[in-house]
Amino acid sequence: MIYTLIVLLPLAGALIAGLFGRILGPRPSEIVTTALLMIAALLSWVVFVQVGFSGETARVPLFRWITSGDLDTAWSLRIDTLTAVMLVVVTTVSALVHLYSIGYMHEDDSRPRFFAYLSLFTFAMLALVTSDNLVQMFFGWEGVGLASYLLIGFWYKKPSANAAAIKAFVVNRVGDFGFALGIFALFAVFGTISFDAIFAAAPGEVGNTIEFVGYRVDTLTLIALLLFMGAMGKSAQFLLHTWLPDAMEGPTPVSALIHAATMVTAGVFMVARLSPVFELAPAALNVVVFIGALTAFFAATVGLVQNDIKRVIAYSTCSQLGYMFVALGVGAYSAGIFHLFTHAFFKALLFLGAGSVIHGLHHEQDMRRMGGLSKKLPFTWAMMLIGTLALTGVGIPHLVGFAGFHSKDAIIEAAYAAHTPSNYAFWALIVAAFMTSFYSWRLMFLTFHGETRADHHAYDEAHEGPWVMRIPLIVLSVGAVFAGVVFYPYFMGSGYEGFWREALYELPGKDIRHHMHEVPEWVFWAPAIAMLAGLGLATLYYIVKPGLPEATARAFRPVYLFLLNKWYIDELYDRIFVRPAFAIGRFLWKGIDGAVIDGAIDRVTRGVLWGTGFVNRFQTGYLYHYAFAMLIGVAGLLTYFILTGGR
C-alpha cells in the first residue's frame, strides 16, 4: 500500500490542480499538490530505510496491462534499493520545489496549471523508477518528456520558451527512437520485456550475433548501444545535449526539478537498472565511458564563459552527468548512483539559490549585471556557498568533505582504476574538476562579490525571498553538507553488500570497487588539487585582477568565441538538419503542393468553369429555344439511324 501511495499521490495532486484548479483557485491548488508531495517524500524515506537496509526486492502487481500476441504484461511496482534511492531523490526534491514555487510563482495567475504540471512530472518519473518491465519504463520515459515540454514552455506567450520546449521534445525523440529500437530488440531476442526474465537469459546471448541494417553484429552490444542512445537524449550527453541549456527558458523551479531529480537522471537510472545487460557488452560500456568523459569535459569548457547564471549551472549539470556515465561505463554503478544521489541536493540548492537571486533582482539573470549581492542577500549567498563547496568537491582526502567530494572523487578513483587507454577518462575528469571549480567560483564572485554592476534601482530594492522559499534551501543545504559522509559507507564502503544486494550487477572478478581503493596516493589528492587550482585562478581573475577576463578573451578570441558558441554544435545542426529540412519543406510546399497539385486543380477548375459558362449560354429560359434544341436532337437521332441502317 505504501509503495502505491508514493506513486499515485503526485498523480492525484496533478489531477486535482489540473481539472479543478480554476474552481479551487491558486492557493488551494498549491497547498493540495505540495501537501501530497510532502506525504510521498516522507513515505519514500520510510521505504528507503526499510528496503535499503534489508536489501530485499518487493513487487506489487497492480493490474494487467497489455496483452498482444506473445506480449503479456502487467503493471507492477518493483521496489529494491535502486528504486528506493530514486524515490527519495525524486520525491524529496520535488516536494521542496513545490514548496519553493509557492513563493517564487506568487505573482503568476496560472499557478494551478504550473503545480499540476510539476506533480505530473513527478508522477511520470516515479512511474519510470518503479517499473518492473521495459514497456512500463517507456511509459514513464515518455511521460517525463511530455511534462518537460509543458514546463519548459509554461510561459507559452514567450517565443523563446516555445522554441526551447519544442527543441527539448524533438531532441529527446531522437534518443527515444534508439531506446524504442533497443526495447524491440530485447523482445525479439528474449521474447519478454520483464527485467528478471531478461537478466536471467542475458548470459546465454554472449557471443551471439544479430542482423542489423544488413550487417551481423554482436547482439548484446547492439542492444546496449540502442538503449544508451535513449540515455544520451534524456541525460543530455554530448551530441544530444543541446536541449538542456535552452530548458532554462522555463521557470527556475522547473530547472531545479529537471536538473536535480527527474528527467536528466532517467538515463543514468536506466543504464544502472539494466546493468546485467550492459556488463555483458564491454564494447558498449567503452562507448558509455567515452561519451561520459567527453560530455564532462565539453560542458565544463562551455560553462567557463556563460554569463546567464542559470546556464552556468545547467552546463554544470551536463558535466556532472558525464561523471555519472563514466562511473557506469567502468562498472562502478554504485559510484554513479551515489553521485546522482548527492548531486540532487547540491544542484537543486544551486538552482533554487539562483532563483532567489533572480527573484530578488526582479528577474535579472545576467551575472555581468550583478555583483556585491552578498550584502543584500546574505542568506542566499550562504546557501549558494554551501552548494558551490559541494559541487566543487571541497574536502580532505581519506577524512571528510562536502557531498560532492565523496561521490565525485569516488568516480575519479574508479576512472583511474579502470585503466582506459592513456587513462583518458581519468584525465578528462580531472581537467573537468578544475574547470568546474573555476566557473563555480566565477559565478559566486560575479554574483555576490566586488562592486555591484546591477541597475541602481534593482540593487537598492534587492531582497531575500519569503520563508517559504528559504526553508527548501535550508533542507537542501543539509543534504549538500552531510549526504556524502553519512551515506558513503552504504553506497561505497563497508555496508555496500548489505545495502545493494542484487539491485546492481557487476561481472564476477571485475571488482572495480576493490581496485579503486588501491590507486596511488596522488590519485586521491588530484581532485583536491584541481579544485584548489580552479579556486585560485577564479580569485585571480575576478577578485585580484578583474580586468584579466576581458584581456584573456581578447588575446584568445577564437577560443573564446568557440566556447561562447558552445563548440558551434547548434550551428552545425542548423546546417546539417534544420536548413535542409526547411529547404525540403519549401520545395514540397511551393514546388509540389503549390505548382503541381494546386496548379493542376486550378487548371481543371478553370476548364470546368469555362465549359460551364459556355453551356450556360444555352440556358435562356425561352420555351421555343428549348423546343428548337429538342428538334435538333431528334433530327440528329433520325440522321444517325438512317446512316447506320437502324443497327
The residue-averaged pLDDT of 444-463 equals 86
How is residue 16 written as a grid cell?
A: 486535482
Q: pTM, whole model, 2 decimals?
A: 0.90
pLDDT of residue 625: 67
Q: In sequence order, which residues have a C-beta less than 8 Å from that of residue 57 and are 6 or more positions away?
A: 78, 79, 80, 501, 502, 503
Mind listing the pLDDT tens digit for each residue in 115-161?
999 999 999 999 999 999 999 999 999 999 999 999 999 988 889 89
Q: In angstroms, rounded to a whole number, what is the distance separating the alpha carbons of residues 299 and 529?
A: 20
AA letter at 237: Q
pLDDT of residue 230: 93
Where does the pLDDT of residue 615 fall: very low under 50, low under 70, confident under 90, or very high at 90 and above?
low
Q: Is the per-residue pLDDT at 646 higher than 60?
A: no
Per-position DSSP letters for 327-386, written without gaps between them: HHHTT-HHHHHHHHHHHHHHHHHHHHHHHHHHHHTTS--BGGG---TTTT-HHHHHHHHH
Find, among 184, 223, 226, 228, the residue nearest to 206 by Cα: 223
pLDDT of residue 109: 85
SS (H, E, C) 393-443: CCECCCCCECHHHHHHHHHHHHHHHHCCHHHHHHHHHHHHHHHHHHHHHHH
Q: In angstroms, rounded to a whole number, what is the distance separating the alpha carbons of residues 311 and 442?
A: 13
Where does the pLDDT of residue 616 fall: very low under 50, low under 70, confident under 90, or very high at 90 and above?
low
The residue-averaged pLDDT of 643-647 equals 67
The CA angle 132-135-141, to the nearest 5 degrees, is 95
Q: In angstroms, rounded to a whole number, what is the distance separating the alpha carbons of residues 355 and 360?
A: 8
Mind listing the pLDDT tens digit for each residue in 431-440?
999 999 999 9
Mind listing the pLDDT tens digit for each residue in 586-605?
888 777 777 777 777 777 77
Q: 266, 235 in Cβ contact below 8 A? A: yes
Q: Which of 244-253, 329-338, 492-501 has the lowest mean pLDDT?
A: 492-501
pLDDT of residue 360: 86
Per-position DSSP letters for 477-492, written without gaps between them: HHHHHHHHHHHHHHHT
Q: How far is CA 161 from the centre of its chain?
A: 16
Q: In angstroms, rounded to a whole number, what is the distance separating the alpha carbons of residues 511 and 444?
A: 40
pLDDT of residue 127: 94
pLDDT of residue 364: 85
Find, among 281, 190, 191, the residue nearest to 227 by Cα: 281
pLDDT of residue 639: 80
Higher pLDDT: 346 or 57? It is 346
pLDDT of residue 54: 75
The CA angle 390-344-284, to the nearest 5 degrees, is 105
| Cα separation values, 401 from 22, 393, 396, 408, 412, Å | 48, 7, 6, 11, 15
| Cα separation values, 294 from 45, 239, 335, 396, 424, Å | 35, 10, 19, 27, 10
Mind listing the pLDDT tens digit for each residue in 7-25?
999 999 999 999 998 898 8
Q: In angstroms, rounded to a whole number, what is the distance separating the alpha carbons of residues 311 and 283?
A: 34
Q: In angstroms, rounded to a whole number, what is the distance separating the alpha carbons of residues 75 and 347?
A: 32
Domain boundaries, given as residue ranges, for the chain: 281-500+520-563, 565-611, 617-647
How is residue 591 written as a grid cell?
A: 514546388
Where does the pLDDT of residue 1 fall: very low under 50, low under 70, confident under 90, or very high at 90 and above?
confident
Q: In angstroms, rounded to a whole number, what is the distance separating the alpha carbons of residues 252 and 231?
A: 24
pLDDT of residue 614: 61
Beta bridge mates, 401: 395
Q: Is the per-residue pLDDT at 564 higher than 80?
A: yes
Q: In sequence order, which residues have a C-beta less than 8 Å from that of residue 452 and are 6 or more positions away?
A: 370, 371, 372, 373, 459
Q: In angstroms, rounded to a whole number, what is the distance separating the alpha carbons of residues 141 and 128?
A: 6
pLDDT of residue 450: 85
Mind listing the pLDDT tens digit for each residue in 368-420?
988 888 888 999 999 999 999 999 999 998 888 999 999 999 999 999 999 99
Q: In sequence order, which residues have a C-beta less than 8 Å from that of residue 359 and are 6 or more positions away?
A: 103, 104, 465, 469
Higher pLDDT: 633 or 242? It is 242
Q: Is the per-residue pLDDT at 611 higher than 70?
A: no
The residue-averaged pLDDT of 452-475 equals 88
The pLDDT mean for the chain works out to 89
The residue-averaged pLDDT of 281-298 equals 95
